A and B are shown apart, each in its own frame.
Chain A
């Protein structure tokens, strides 16, 4: 079946602009996660959704970062007033219970 999909695959933006990254999880997966992968920090957890609620937002690096999930499906990660240190690959994963399945990621470059 279809895996986790993310869009766009690449995003180049200017410092100070807002960006939205989208994640379409595997159908029926109730849990959804966002992670970030950067050269200096490795793979870091950002936020966890169970259904439409986000019981764990502990990994969001600042209040410029927010995320929502609607209909227990699609999720959007929004970064406001982007900074150069936000450049990274943003990965989404979904899970039916324990095993997490990752999407291909969105490579964000902030100039």
Chain B
């Protein structure tokens, strides 16, 4: 099945810094989503982005489907950005079944 790898596994930032999180996937995808899991465990949808670029406030994401990777950019990080960021993809199942990466754990220090 499709493999999803995220890097880095852990990241520590000072408040105000920028960061880039990467997601590599091993096959073509129908669906790619980025999620933020907050310290209470809630998974929050950030982007649905199987291709192209999107921006939402301080966050933006780019997926280059032909090269099988996606990037999540966080600018001017805040302590509330702390948590785990997951990339999840749907392969050829056509059921919407998401395969998750192992996540990037981000800690933003004040």
Chain A contacts to B: CB under 8 angstroms? 31, 33, 35, 42-45, 48, 50, 55-56, 58-59, 89, 91, 93, 95, 98-102, 104-105, 107
Contact A104 B103 (CB under 8 A): no
Contact B41 A100 (CB under 8 A): no
Contact A42 B102 (CB under 8 A): yes
Kindly count the residue-residue contacts between A and B in the assembled complex, taking CB atoms under 8 Å apart. 53
Contact A59 B97 (CB under 8 A): yes
Question: Known interface pairs A42-B103, A98-B48. Does A91 touch B96 (Cβ–Cβ under 8 Å)?
Answer: no
- Extra 6 A-B pairs, beta carbons < 8 Å, given A44-B100, A105-B41: A43-B86, A43-B100, A45-B97, A50-B95, A56-B95, A100-B33
Q: Offer 15 A-B interface pairs, CB within 8 angstroms, sorted by A.
A: A33-B97, A33-B98, A35-B98, A35-B100, A43-B86, A45-B97, A48-B97, A56-B95, A100-B33, A100-B45, A101-B45, A102-B35, A102-B44, A104-B41, A104-B42
Contact B41 A99 (CB under 8 A): no
> In the complex, A105→B38 CA distance in Å?
13
